[in-house]
Structure 1
């Protein structure tokens, strides 16, 4: 059941002032909206996680695994950097979503059907481009729902879906890796088709959420994709017929810079995610005599890397679902806190990998310590993501002061779309740092007699 939604100004939604007989239908709309955005987040991000979890299986042992992380994020970063800043005019959501589906499908097939390293990296780049453009598109789509509480509802479930993607992707590859890259990745390639099916068959249109406290024109019509028929109402249809056609409007470069400047320190820096999973957090295979439960999970040294991914993605899912679970969002003042904690954890994990905090006789302590730190890093990363995007989604113009409704719509879309660049920049920096760091950490481990990293 969808949770009650609080308007940022403490006004209750949904559909104040309507007859109670319609409440059940309104509740179903909210459930469909939440489920749609959950599926968008789940499917859009799941291939990214599968590829990251499969890094050890996609490249030869001599190749730094950080190159997978780089190819898995760099094209997404280009998409998030290019589209919001260069696009002019209305967003064609239908074309974007279908295009993202086809790009992901083609990229995963390239990874599955070719063993050559360059071919696989090219396929990963295509899937990454699709994921970046998809994230941008669906977050922008959330701003087309009014009032702001409905947009926040969409963001909360989108974020929860992206967190679930991490968990599902890591789990899927844990199960599919035994089938090999060709079959495992090939099976995964059909997942993107869920996005257009959800968009066409399940997602309620913005016109379904008419807010009696605002004008119909502002809260419904301008936010609909012109390529898809909207849910019809007599008032909306009448307004559409009588409204004169206006000239195309778009944000100029000066407009975008004006909108961007206040967000640099307020939202972009807190969104930078610095998480490095060097495959050097390795320990001997636990013996059944000393570590009964752990020995059932870890069967070889190669199992540690996907295990850390699974732990991280589980905690990311929990924290990214915080708003959809009804947990109050962080205040704007606290938004930088998760990033600060992540940086401290990153330094600690690097020290553990290089020198070891516990002696080799107590590898169980080391495994438990890394487990806790990875869990904390996942929680911080998820909290930063969901809270930053929720806060920017809630920044809506007052309808009574809007002079050009289409321009106001584009401003909301640009603001939330421009933030993805910050998130991907942090991940890209981490992947670039991971490649030389992995090599150096392995050297430090070998120097102290720990040779496990050489066998990957």
Structure 2
């Protein structure tokens, strides 16, 4: 207890909370309030940076698609190479991995592969080599997302673990805005220099992991007001660490916790039968809502949004719209900006302190998303909103609103699904009274949250396949009714 108070005193003095040499007894109140806040800020910032940096290269590559491949090459090949390796990782890695996750080794490897991928894109002009670099970056991004979500389950109590997921989701949402802005600023330097400068970004991940991220043992005494709704069936149990593992966590940094199993003699590895038993209940409850949301969301973004174009507004008739839209090529980037901004806001709901969706409502974002897709497809095909004298302003405003709803639904589905899986209780009736049973419970939590990623990856991949004929069909339909703007793109 005396050592704990001394550490609190040093932290409080270094933060300017107490003058140097102040009596330690005065920290009974100050230390309990300020030290946990500092730890939670560091934890939240760490996971926010993990989400931001892990996803920002994905956005930069998509934003740079026109500059990375020759004009005659379909841009869809960029989207395919940017998602397929990530999907393979999310599909196979949780099932192939056995035993403890070696977080330090994995995250350093992810950063190295990302840097290598961006270097390849910058160094070579050939299409094959650039696609290879994109595949490397995609592989690293998929494995990184899987790893950070699994890492969140190593924090306790449950409110702190949920805090980590909320900030990670917020960081992934911010990546859309930051990535698009970065490439807008860097594209003038050319692909070689712009992408080359972007390659330093993955180095933020290991630096954050080793230098900023608090150890799980450091925040184990911190608790937050529970955000789990009263009617929820999920309420994660916190299993106290054994004394031997508590000592190990106090001496070994978070990145070296994989060595704890060897120190304590725990040799636990989930079998394929164990993993299949764990994943079956998750399919309908979490995976299908996430799959549907992403399928509808990316079909809108890639297949419908490019056809949602209207005549360029004139300053006399539309003074506000004319300041935003200067050519028909401005509509699609605007829709993407609206989408990314709403995704960021909705993925940040938990980090902003809003309660999660009730478990029974996890499918609502997918249902709303389906209606948004239908309405936008009809608007593109038959022009639901653009009739009459003020039809242009009405269509612009309604499409703006619907794409905002699309982004909100996608962000809410992502953050709430992963938060719910993170907070799920261990199997009922299983005694966690031995070191082996506790380690098995931890590996089960890691596997469950890692197995969910296949749902959003599969939805994006299927949407990229569906979107090509969808865009072509909608454009032909517009031309058939005398609207030829889509042909001018």
Contact 1:66 1:434 in 2 (8 A): no
1:393 to 406, 422, 426: 422
The 5 A counterparts of 1:127-276 are 127-211=137-221, 215-217=240-242, 221=246, 229-230=253-254, 245-272=264-291, 273-274=294-295, 275=297, 276=299
- Greater Cα offset, 350-359 or 306-315: 350-359
Q: Which residue in the other structure is 1:15 paired with?
A: none
Q: Which residue in the other structure is 1:296 paired with?
A: 323
**1:347-388 deviation line (CA, Å, top 9, x unaligned):** 222222233223476333222222111100000000001111
Q: Does 1:46 align with 2:56?
A: yes
Report how far residue 84 of structure 1 moved: 0.4
**1:42-92 deviation line (CA, Å, top 9, x unaligned):** 111111122223334444455443332222211111111111011101111
**1:94-152 deviation line (CA, Å, top 9, x unaligned):** 11111111222222233334444333322222211111111000000000001111100
Contact 1:155 1:386 in 2 (8 A): yes
Q: Distance in 1 between matches of 2:120 and 2:250?
A: 32
2:441 to 393, 402, 408: 408
Query: Could you say if the C-alpha distance between residues 92 and 73 of structure 1 is closer, same or farther in structure 2, counting changes exceeding 3 Å?
Result: same
Q: Which residue in the other structure is 1:335 paired with?
A: 362
Q: SS of the counterpart of 1:74?
A: helix
Report how far residue 288 of structure 1 moved: 2.8
Q: Which residue in the other structure is 2:46 paired with?
A: 36
Structure 2 gaps of 5+ residues are: 1-26, 223-237
TM-score, normalised on structure 1?
A: 0.86
The 5 A counterparts of 1:104-123 are 104-123=114-133
Contact 2:173 2:340 in 1 (8 A): yes
Query: Could you say if the C-alpha distance between residues 418 and 173 of structure 1 is closer, same or farther in structure 2, counting changes exceeding 3 Å?
Result: same
TM-score, normalised on structure 2?
A: 0.81
Contact 1:108 1:124 in 2 (8 A): yes
Q: SS of the counterpart of 2:320?
A: helix
Contact 1:59 1:65 in 2 (8 A): yes
Report how far residue 421 of structure 1 moved: 0.7
Q: Which residue in the other structure is 1:66 paired with?
A: 76
Q: Distance in 1 between matches of 2:488 and 2:395?
A: 20
Query: Could you say if the C-alpha distance between residues 380 and 231 of structure 1 is closer, same or farther in structure 2, counting changes exceeding 3 Å?
Result: closer
Q: Does 1:372 align with 2:398?
A: no
Query: Could you say if the C-alpha distance between residues 285 and 124 of structure 1 is closer, same or farther in structure 2, counting changes exceeding 3 Å?
Result: farther
Q: Distance in 1 between matches of 2:312 and 2:352?
A: 37
- Greater Cα offset, 284-293 or 371-380: 284-293
Contact 1:211 1:219 in 2 (8 A): no
Q: Which residue in the other structure is 2:29 paired with?
A: 20
2:462 to 429, 437, 443: 429
Report how far residue 174 of structure 1 moved: 3.7
Report how far residue 218 of structure 1 moved: 8.5
Contact 1:72 1:125 in 2 (8 A): yes
Q: Distance in 1 between matches of 2:397 and 2:128?
A: 37
Query: Could you say if the C-alpha distance between residues 125 and 219 of structure 1 is closer, same or farther in structure 2, counting changes exceeding 3 Å?
Result: farther
Report how far residue 161 of structure 1 moved: 0.7
Q: Which residue in the other structure is 1:305 paired with?
A: 332
Structure 1 gaps of 5+ residues are: 1-17
Query: Could you say if the C-alpha distance between residues 199 and 330 of structure 1 is closer, same or farther in structure 2, counting changes exceeding 3 Å?
Result: same
Report how far residue 209 of structure 1 moved: 2.0
